[in-house]
Amino acid sequence: MSQGLDRTRIQDIDALRGFALLGILIVNITFAASGFPIHLAEDPAYQSWLDQTVHWLSATFVDMKFYLLFSFLFGYSFQLQMEAAQKAGAAFKPRMLRRLGGLFVIGALHGIFLITGDILSVYALIGLVLLGMRRVSDRTALIVAGSIYAYLFITLGAAALFMDTSAVLDPTTAVAAAQQTAADLAGSFGDVIGEHVRAMPTYGLSLLTVQGPTTLAAFLIGMVLGRRRMLANITGTEAVLRLIQGLGFTIGITGGIIYASAGGNGDTGAVLASVLTAPFLTAAYVATLLRVMHSDRGQDVRRVLAPAGRMALSNYLGQSVAMVLIFTGVGLGLVGQVSPLATLGIAVAIFAGQVVLSHLWLNRFGYGPVEGVLRAITNATAPTWRRRLSRV
- Mean pLDDT along residues 35-61: 93
Express each pLDDT in 200-248 by its tens digit.
887 777 777 888 999 999 999 999 999 999 998 889 999 999 999 999 9
Give the Å distances, CA to CA, from 325 to 20, 126, 147: 23, 30, 42
| pLDDT at res. 391 | 38
Question: Burial level of 362, CB count in 10 A (0-12/13-18/19+)?
Answer: middle
Distance, CA of 328 to CA of 182 (rounded, Å): 9
Express each pLDDT in 254-305 by its tens digit.
999 999 998 766 688 899 999 999 999 999 999 999 999 999 889 999 999 9
Split at pLDDT 50, 70, 90, the class of 38 is confident
Counting Cα atoms < 13 Å in the Cβ hemisphere of 103 gives 24
Split at pLDDT 50, 70, 90, the class of 47 is very high
Q: Which candidate, 199, 207, 196, 25, places its Cα nearest to that of 113?
A: 196
Q: Which candidate, 257, 253, 239, places its Cα nearest to that of 285?
A: 253
Give the Å distances, CA to CA, from 242 to 72, 142, 281: 20, 23, 13
Q: Is the pLDDT of residue 389 over 60?
A: no
Give the Å distances, CA to CA, from 5 to 12, 185, 198, 219, 229: 11, 48, 48, 25, 13
Return the domain boundaries, the chain. Answer: 1-379
pTM of the entire structure? 0.92
Distance, CA of 373 to CA of 364 (rounded, Å): 17
Distance, CA of 219 to CA of 214 (rounded, Å): 9
Q: CA angle at residue 209 from 207 to 210, to 5 degrees?
A: 70
Express each pLDDT in 328-380 by its tens digit.
999 999 999 999 999 999 999 999 999 999 999 999 998 999 999 999 999 88
Give the Å distances, CA to CA, from 171 to 44, 177, 185, 205: 11, 10, 21, 20
- Asked if 386 and 366 touch (Cβ cutoff 8 Å), the reply is yes
Express each pLDDT in 181-198 by its tens digit.
999 999 999 999 999 999
- Asked if 298 and 15 touch (Cβ cutoff 8 Å), the reply is no
| pLDDT at res. 326 | 98
Residues 6+ apart with CB under 8 A from 299: 293
Counting Cα atoms < 13 Å in the Cβ hemisphere of 223 gives 26
- Asked if 132 and 216 touch (Cβ cutoff 8 Å), the reply is no
Element (H, E) at 47: none
Express each pLDDT in 149-173 by its tens digit.
999 999 989 888 876 555 455 677 8
| pLDDT at res. 7 | 54
Q: Which candidate, 343, 376, 370, places its Cα nearest to that of 62?
A: 343
Give the Å distances, CA to CA, from 352 to 296, 307, 346: 23, 12, 10
Split at pLDDT 50, 70, 90, the class of 392 is very low
- Mean pLDDT along residues 118-143: 95
**Alpha carbon 240 to chain centroid, angstroms:** 25
